[in-house]
Structure 1
């Protein structure tokens, strides 16, 4: 990268960091704001003709807005597919009909077998998320992988769990 572009990006960052951080914090919360701020500037850096952009602050704002929408969409999708409490439903009471209890136990056994059959890393990710209630970020940090990889493992795990439950 040329010295001119490096200086341009540094100045752009310094002038817009506070406003973008405030915007992102309002939209996604403090925990995700710094990551999205960094990703905003990474995407700006990847833009081949950034120095030709007519309004760089507006360009950065648009990137940040797109990232917040992407994050919200990803969270909705994850929530849809990662609703663990819906996998088996509520355990039948001791007064329930025998066929309800047998059905629940059969489904629980199928789910256990599906989890045990997962590839080791995929199973580890699933168990950390489902049973230890760790966030994808926490799992990624603990296992030394990216959040994207955690999401991929969870997607595989959930597909197989749902398939096992029929």
Structure 2
């Protein structure tokens, strides 16, 4: 192990808590934030940069962590979570239906009602974009052409709708 590798290892361990808190500002999901820190560590090991030649190594680590978190956030926004229409879900076999309890069914129905209400509460254009993309499975370009708006605006409406649904669901689950 090279001297600069040991130096980076030492700095990474020393600032791990602060780096994690920084990443969690952008990615509150525990697994995702730890994945970003793992990527940071891998990049540190792959680079051939001596920390002694950097003016402020802790700031360098924080900037790297922030950039990686923002990159992950952008990837998430480009590929938002898909909502599946419950009517499209079919039993996959006898084993699947036996493992579902009445409590789970009731809980799932409550969650669907909460999401339906959250979608109903969206501004009209935002709701329309959301339903065209998620319910009707149209691409962002198709929705943009259909509604006469830019693809960026479609993506903005989708982010807004998904964020709203996540917030409403989180409030009801806590």
TM-score between the two structures when normalised by the length of structure 1:
0.48
User: Which structure has the higher relative contact order (CA within 8 Å, separation 6+)?
Assistant: 2
TM-score between the two structures when normalised by the length of structure 2:
0.46
